[in-house]
Structure 1
Amino acid sequence: MKNIFKQVDESIYSNAMTFLRQPLQQNPLSSSADIVVLGLPFDMATTGRSGARMGPTAIRQASVNLAWEGKRFPWPFSLLKHCKMVDAGDLVFSPGDAAHFCQQVETAVGQLLDADKTVLSLGGDHFVTLPILRAYAKKFGTMALIHFDAHTDTYNNGSSYDHGTMFYHAPKEKLIDRDKSIQVGIRTNYQEYNHGFSVINAMQANDMSVDEISTLIKSRVGDMPVYLTFDIDCLDPAFAPGTGTPVCGGLSTDKVLKVLRALAGINLVGMDVVEVAPAYDNSDITALAAATIAVELAHLWTVKHKLP
């Protein structure tokens, strides 16, 4: 009799427990994976609506809508035939202890990098990127940052744990080089005169072509190791209502996906998708957008590091 438990589930609603239905490997250091998906269920640094701690689960559940394709349109190759991926589940840390969270992130990501893995992190509020960058800088040195967001997150008036201050601290800690970094989709106030980062604001991005945007990004980061962080509120709330600090006038999902695909060839070394707050989502469209963007980032990494 055929073993019914060995059947492959191709539905888009059941067994939605891991990203793209890839194996759950809670000890991924000894695995053969190229990319390790790590959930970071943390939202203690948020200044808007809370709930991003539920983001990793929502993104995983939405990702089953993408798992059945095999080859993600319009990419010309099958991701999982060229890139081995496992889901490490969510990071374990002491609830309510932001300092312990930072220590756990930096240690976990550092161990994965030491094991020659690439980390695709699912937030969580955007503060999670700072301890990730600390771990990455120990291996890659100062990096270029590609940052999609409605906010610059370069504010210096927050607490030690604030999702609006990461990119104020990161250059000071020499984790990223502002002169090689770029922010896309910005549409909230910031001090332009000493900002340092190149900015394509949302109004500009909505008026520019995909080629114009991608050319500016590529020329800015050059051949430096690149960390790409995507705050889902870069998208207009029409496309991503499920987030803590929505801002009207953002980019469409279509344009963002086209820009990401046009970045093929950059030296991408790490990536995250953050700020999905499913309690405010409608029909899971924010989680689906985040899952789709995460899949695109995995393709970007694979194009550079695994394809001939």
Structure 2
Amino acid sequence: MSEDFDQYEKGDLAFTRRSPYGTEIEAMYSGATSFMRRRYSRDLTNVDVAIIGVPFDLATSNRPGARFGPRAIRAASTQLSWARPWPWTKDPFETLNVVDFGDCVFDPGQPDTIVASVQQWYDKIIAQDVIPLTLGGDHFVTYPILKSLAAKHGPISLIHFDAHCDTWADKKGRVDHGTMFYHAANEGIVDASHSVQVGMRTVNDLDLGYTVLDALWLHDHGVEAALKIIQEKVADNPTYITFDIDFLDPACAPGTGTPVCGGFDTITAIKLLHGLQNLNLIGADVVEVAPAYDHAEITALAGATMATNLVCLMAAAKERSNK
């Protein structure tokens, strides 16, 4: 589906792309930095996947800065956008119409309105049967997204990659980036009994019914054993994948607000995502990229890589639903 596009004669595919399909080469170091050079658009007609940034970090409990994550991930994705994603055998952009929807808009001066504002933003997208792929933002942003999706699909199976369980007990009406999955389970937004948390390496004895494969378990048992448990737990339920970049070890992702030693390298994360091709996937996110603490863009590049693999999973889900 080539547009006969010459990277040295034209530019800014984010605005000039004629077809929504295919992968074209644009100079990595220039041009408008939409995610993977997809067209910026608020028109969701015939769109399969919308990339949405949520530049919010007021719920963080340690170092702030994840509000700059969406911009950093988009910029880093230009390094990946010239060819089919590795190690996938199919280009997801040949079958999916993916647009960069830009960033969610909200008023940080009215923090009590954030959940409703983000949820309303997503309601419009989900109502058009478009799958949201979110670039955070701190991990709190997943909560209003799940609320919006659950309003349509009912209780959701969650696959949660993270160094933290984010299920610490909290009082009603209060949510931060370490408590939103406590509320999501108690409110019936997430079906904890059919959800899996992977990579945890902080202490919390409260699991709320989630299946927890902590870091020691994953290091000892490996990717294939984890994938088997995940597939059995979520089955064919409506499923959401949330990927906190601190799932990776700080050596692979220093640019995050709450890094925790003992994590995983990027190839382990790629193998995990690549193995989840039989899901009823209704949405996903990559969160907690905080570029102020990054070095040589390695965290932003890791975030862009995980987000690109999530697009590939969405293409696999579409192919599976069409059979």
TM bucket, shorter chain: over 0.9
Provide the rounded CA distance (Å) in 1 between the counterparts of 2:103 and 2:111: 16
How far did 1:98 drift?
A: 2.3
Which of 17, 24, 30 is the equivalent residue of 2:33?
17
**1:34-183 to 2 correspondences below 5 Å:** 34-69=48-83, 71-157=84-170, 160-183=174-197
Residues 207-226 of structure 1: per-residue CA shift (max 9 Å, x gap): 22221111111011111110
Provide the rounded CA distance (Å) in 1 between the counterparts of 2:135 and 2:11: 29
The answer for the alignment partner of 2:294 in structure 1 is 281
Residues 91-143 of structure 1: per-residue CA shift (max 9 Å, x gap): 11113322332222111111111111000000000000000000000111001
Provide the rounded CA distance (Å) in 2 between the counterparts of 1:39 and 1:60: 9
Residues 36-60 of structure 1: per-residue CA shift (max 9 Å, x gap): 0000000000001000000000000
**1:206-217 to 2 correspondences below 5 Å:** 206-217=219-230
The alignment yields a C-alpha RMSD, in angstroms, of 1.8
Provide the rounded CA distance (Å) in 2 between the counterparts of 1:170 and 1:38: 21
Q: In 2, are the aligned partners of 1:148 and 1:231 still within 8 Å (CA)?
A: yes
Alignment gaps of 5+ in structure 2: 1-5, 14-24
Alignment gaps of 5+ in structure 1: none
Which of 204, 208, 218 is the equivalent residue of 2:231?
218
Provide the rounded CA distance (Å) in 2 between the counterparts of 1:152 and 1:236: 16
Instruction: Kindly provide the amino acid, as one letter, of the partner of residue 143 in structure 2.
Output: L
Question: SS of 1:186's equivalent?
Answer: coil
How far did 1:191 drift?
A: 1.1
Provide the rounded CA distance (Å) in 1 between the counterparts of 2:85 and 2:95: 13
Report the TM-score, using the length of structure 2 for normalisation.
0.90
Provide the rounded CA distance (Å) in 1 between the counterparts of 2:79 and 2:32: 9
Question: SS of 2:76's equivalent?
Answer: helix
**1:197-208 to 2 correspondences below 5 Å:** 197-208=210-221
Task: Could you list the structure 1 runs, at least 4 aligned residues long, displaced by more than 6 angstroms after superposition.
Answer: none
The number of equivalent residue pairs is 303
Q: In 1, are the aligned partners of 2:182 and 2:208 still within 8 Å (CA)?
A: no
1:266 partnered with 2:282: no
Q: In 1, are the aligned partners of 2:198 and 2:212 still within 8 Å (CA)?
A: yes
Q: In 2, are the aligned partners of 1:148 and 1:183 still within 8 Å (CA)?
A: yes
